[in-house]
């Protein structure tokens, strides 16, 4: 059984949910019932600089990610994941500084979209995620068209994310996101990427008419598959 190393803490609420999702996947998909069958997980709650609104402290954040990845590898992690979408703009700092595999949250979501056959998707996330090539380029290569909100709605989405990080997410933020997703659907989006791991804390598939790709849940499932690879088959 492989040891999972998690670079989390950006923000802490999403890291907690990720741990719950991993344990849930181990129980549901792999039939784990005994304490000694659950995987070893090394979680780092890293207080890295905020890149959600801007990238002014990118070098400092990259230095912290690199050091944390090295620390987790030395602590015995067999592979690494990172629970923040936005920070994946710096993922080369992780892969270049360690010798163990890194499962990209971005690649995991894109692969699922390709598997599902969606041709046009909406993208929500931090300002960096919605405006950079973080998702846009790999989706373009995959032949998937992407639509994002207008600038005013982008700012509203970022405000919702910041509310969750501050522990203040409410029904008002859920209502905002529902409206934004409905507008993306009107633009032809067949599904929507919740490209910030705080967003599923506010909204889920049951709240809207089109499917949502919960990036954190997909990463948790991919992590469990890697933990148990070659050891035990998923429950049927």
Domains of the chain: 4-104+218-227 (3.40.50.1860), 106-215 (3.40.50.1860)
Q: What is the pTM of this model?
A: 0.90
pLDDT tens digits, 152-198: 999 999 999 988 888 887 889 999 999 999 999 999 999 999 999 88
- Concatenated DSSP letters of 173-225: HHHHHHHHHHHHHHTT-SEEEE-STTGGGT--GGGSSS-EEEHHHHHHHHHHH
How many CA atoms, within 13 angstroms, populate the side-chain half-sphere of residue 107? Answer: 8
pLDDT at 120: 97
Whether the predicted pLDDT of 37 surpasses 60: yes
pLDDT tens digits, 47-79: 877 666 557 788 888 999 999 999 999 999 999
Give all strands (DSSP E) within 26-144, no chain letters. Answer: 41-45, 79-82, 120-124
Could you give the percent of the chain with pLDDT greater than 70? Answer: 94
pLDDT at 234: 53
pLDDT at 233: 53
pLDDT tens digits, 93-112: 999 999 999 999 999 999 99
Beta bridge partners of 7: 44, 82
The average confidence (pLDDT) of the chain is 90
Asked if residues 44 and 82 have their Cβ atoms less than 8 Å apart, the reply is no
């Amino acid at each position: 059984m492989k040891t999972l190393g998690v670079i989390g803490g950006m923000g802490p609420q999403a890291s907690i949910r990720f741990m719950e999702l991993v344990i849930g996947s181990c129980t549901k998909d792999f039939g784990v019932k005994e304490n000694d069958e659950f995987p070893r997980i090394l979680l780092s709650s890293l207080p890295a600089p905020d890149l959600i609104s801007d990238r002014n402290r990118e070098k400092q954040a990259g230095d912290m990610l690199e050091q944390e990845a090295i620390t987790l590898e030395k602590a015995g992690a067999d592979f690494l994941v990172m629970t923040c979408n936005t920070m994946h703009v710096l993922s080369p700092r992780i892969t270049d500084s360690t010798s163990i595999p890194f499962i990209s949250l971005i690649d995991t979501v894109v692969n699922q979209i390709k598997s599902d056959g969606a041709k046009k998707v909406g993208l929500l996330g931090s300002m960096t995620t919605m405006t950079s090539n973080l998702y846009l380029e790999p989706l373009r290569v995959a032949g998937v068209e992407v639509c994002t909100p207008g600038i005013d709605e982008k700012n509203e989405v970022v405000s919702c994310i910041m509310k969750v990080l501050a522990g203040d997410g409410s029904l008002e933020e859920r209502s905002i996101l529902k409206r934004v997703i409905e507008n993306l659907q009107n633009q032809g989006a067949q599904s929507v990427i919740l490209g910030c791991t705080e967003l599923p804390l506010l909204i889920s598939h049951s709240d809207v008419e089109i499917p949502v790709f919960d990036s954190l849940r997909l990463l948790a499932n991919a992590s469990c598959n890697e933990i148990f690879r070659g050891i035990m088959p998923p429950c049927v």
